[in-house]
Amino acid sequence: MAVKLKDETILNQWSMLIDGAAARGNEVLDDIQARLTAARIPGNCAWDVEEVESGGMFSKTKREFLIVRLDQFSDYRNYVGVRAYGTHLDCCRFLTVEPGFLKRQLSQAITGGSDQLLSTPKNLLVEQDLTAWVSVVHHAVLDAVKALMTKSGLDPAGLRRETKGFLQVW
């Protein structure tokens, strides 16, 4: 059964197309995983490659993503996608917050609308941990893409580093 990725759960995202690198997706995924391992992220950081489909009742599009989780932030996930798109390699990362049913319901009852309030960090130091984890994952992806661009003779100066969304990454 595929994991559902819903638009409303995405906090921030990043994407990049690499010209002429369509056949090198596995190389990038392996490099990302090696960088995550080398980072020795505290708090039982784990990842798996899983089939993901977009949210929606009639969605039929499915793709494989590397899903990165951290026990301390069990409601948060980083989805990393690397796929051939014509002759290009399409690389992306989505940070989501996905609280369980009861937590969503309780959060909505307390706030009158937001189903994510109980998932947000409650103090500055916990928020610092969340930001550090998101940044390490983001930079593992960026650095793997940069390495591929360099190996492919492409100028990594054109690598997009910024993210879009609520929780910005430096």
Q: Rounded CA gap, 87 and 28, in Å?
A: 15
Query: When comparing pLDDT for 125 and 102, which is higher?
Result: 125
SS3 content of the chain, % helix, strand, coil (to 5): 40, 30, 30
Q: Rounded CA gap, 139 and 60, in Å?
A: 31
Query: Over 50: is that where the pLDDT of 6 sits?
Result: yes
In terms of phi and psi (left: phi > 0; alpha: psi -120 to 50; beta: otherwise), the region of 108 is alpha
**Inside any domain, residue 170:** no
If one counts the domains in the chain, the total is 1
pTM: 0.88
| Range of the structural domain that residue 115 is part of | 3-165
pLDDT interval class at 135 (50, 70, 90): very high
pLDDT interval class at 118 (50, 70, 90): low
Average pLDDT value over all residues in the chain: 87
Across 61-76, average pLDDT: 94
